[in-house]
Amino acid sequence: MNIIKDLFAEVKELYRFRWVTFSFVRSTLLLRYRRSILGFFWSLLNPILNYIVVGMVFYLLSRGLTPNYFVYMFTGSAIFNLISVTTNASPLIMISNEHYIKKIYLPKTLFIANTILFELVNFIFSLLALLILGLIWGKLSLSWSLLSIPFVLFFILLLNFGIASFLSVTTVFFRDFIHITPIVTQATFFATPILYTLELIPPQYQSLMKFNPFFHVVKCFREPLYSGELAGPINYAVLILGSLTVFFLGFWVLKKNENKIVFRL
């Protein structure tokens, strides 16, 4: 199988059905906030309230040792949440779209793209809320390093696509992933320095933390917003190589099994 050739063919198919994705994201957002007085404002309010509650607890536990703690925590939580919500939704992508898969032709990657783009829209709302509040309170400052954010987001979307492709396909054959995935995601969240800094970990364990790839992913997104500087070259290397590896692995699993999915649903 020529994976590069298949990839270009799949991109063409996604472009062909682009209005399906647009319609899905739009209708899902409208349904989520239907009959709600605040409407889309909940997309901003929900993450802010959640982060404030969790942040207050860990801020008190850390006794205020982390400078500008809420920006540190908000930036890390926001980007990890984009990964985690996509990951947790991934096992059910093919299963929940069984009626489409069995009745009409749509590329399997379209269902994955729908989920990823829907969560991306929600993330953008959260990021806007973070930026607005940070600028109002003077906790964020504009710098050239912010130009790296779209670059980082691009590779995180590739990472999400790879994860979603792998989990959506494997869950069709092994339904246990529906229950395993949220547990692994939650464990990864607490194993990554998001609510706490690396310095709060005992020195003998700090080097082990750097073997966690999500440590580097979060750092690449956080540093331009938190410190106004770029992350280190190792962080970007892990982000790029890790995202590409997961992306191609997930895409390979999807293409290898796409014709078997309909028979196992």
Query: Is the pLDDT confidence value at 119 over 60?
Result: yes
C-alpha pair distances (Å), 223 with each of 31, 128, 152? 35, 17, 11
State how far the Cα of 46 lies from the Cα of 25, in Å rounded to an integer: 19
State how far the Cα of 179 lies from the Cα of 127, in Å rounded to an integer: 29
Find all residues with CB under 8 Å of 80, minimum gap 6, and list them: 189, 192, 194, 214, 218
Task: Give the model's pLDDT for residue 128.
Answer: 78
Mean pLDDT of the chain, nearest integer: 84
157: amino acid identity, one letter: L
Cα 142 from chain centroid (whole Å): 24
Share of the chain above pLDDT 90, in %: 34
**Nearest alpha-carbon partner for 25 in 82, 110, 104:** 110
Task: Give the model's pLDDT for residue 70.
Answer: 77
Average pLDDT over every residue of 42-62: 65
pLDDT in tens, 193-240: 888 888 878 887 888 888 899 999 999 999 998 888 899 999 999 999
Q: What is the 3-state secondary structure (H, E, C) of the chain?
A: CCHHHHHHHHHHHHHHCHHHHHHHHHHHHHHHCCCCCCCCHHHHHHHHHHHHHHHHHHHHHCCCCCCCHHHHHHHHHHHHHHHHHHHHHHHHHHHHCHHHHHHCCCCHHHHHHHHHHHHHHHHHHHHHHHHHHHHHCCCCCCCHHHHHHHHHHHHHHHHHHHHHHHHHHHHHHCCCHHHHHHHHHHHHHHHCCCCCCHHHCCHHHHHHHCCCHHHHHHHHHHHHHHCCCCCCHHHHHHHHHHHHHHHHHHHHHHHHHHHHHHHHC
**pTM to 2 decimal places:** 0.87
Task: Give the model's pLDDT for residue 48.
Answer: 65
Query: Is the pLDDT confidence value at 37 over 60?
Result: no
Query: Is the pLDDT confidence value at 130 over 90?
Result: no
Query: Is the pLDDT confidence value at 47 over 80?
Result: no
pLDDT in tens, 77-101: 889 989 999 999 999 999 988 888 8
Q: pLDDT band at residue 185, thresholds of 50, 70 and 90?
A: very high
Burial of 108 (0-12, 13-18, 19+ CB in 10 A): buried
C-alpha pair distances (Å), 219 with each of 9, 88, 95, 213? 34, 22, 34, 10
Task: Give the model's pLDDT for residue 87.
Answer: 94
C-alpha pair distances (Å), 151 with each of 7, 232, 236? 21, 15, 10
Q: How many of the other CB atoms lie within 10 Å of CB of 204?
A: 7
